[in-house]
Amino acid sequence: MVASGAAIMLVALLVLQSLFGSGLFSTKTVIATATTSNPSEQVASAYATHLAQLRARNISAVANEYESNAIVEWAGVVPWMNGNYSGAGNIKILWGSFIGKLQNFSLSNEYQSLGVKGGVQVVSSTFDFQGYNAVLGEMNGTVVAQDMYEPIGGSWLIAHETWNFTHVSPNFFPST
């Protein structure tokens, strides 16, 4: 009789403890949320947005993807555009002078790789572009690009971008 009373008392204590949340059978729910992704994922997303804004020929949105003192360097077989363009205002003028003058603009055969160089996220890419201008006609080419992203105010912005035009057709300035 004592053994059965002790067993009943033990069961009663365990039930009471589990009801009040501090016993053996209690459970606690912990909710954890993670809202940040790693820097490489954030930069890959920022670069995808950059290309989408170029395709859309949205000059203002493209210009907002650069740091205020960013540098864009164009080189290669486009001597009329080769040079360094610094500052958001000049970069906006550059893009307006290029894709802004085309009735359409598209990118294809894009390849990209992401890496880190001295604490800066770097996107290296190669792609073909096509466009049409009423004066110049059809234009296409190939670009080898490199974009260096830095974190600014919770966003990743382009600090330095290089476009090396390896082919442009028609070739307005053939070599002699």
Contact of 94 with 66, CB cutoff 8 Å? no
For residue 145, the model assigns a pLDDT of 97
* DSSP annotation of 79: T
Alpha carbons 125 and 113: distance in angstroms, whole number: 6
9: its two tokens: 């008392």
| pLDDT tens per residue, range 143-161 | 999 999 999 999 999 999 9
Q: Which helix (H) or strand (E) holds 52?
A: helix 39-55
pLDDT above 60 (res 133):
yes
Alpha carbons 25 and 83: distance in angstroms, whole number: 71
User: If we measure between CA atoms, which residue out of 39, 37, 13 comes closest to residue 25?
Assistant: 13
Average pLDDT over residues 124-134: 94
User: If we measure between CA atoms, which residue out of 131, 158, 130 comes closest to residue 145?
Assistant: 158
- Delimit the domains of the chain by residue range: 1-32, 39-169
E runs forming strands in the chain: 66-76, 83-86, 104-117, 120-133, 137-152, 155-169
For residue 119, the model assigns a pLDDT of 80
Mean pLDDT estimate for the chain: 82
Q: Which helix (H) or strand (E) holds 90?
A: helix 88-98
39-169 under CATH 3.10.450.50, yes or no: yes
Average pLDDT over residues 59-76: 96
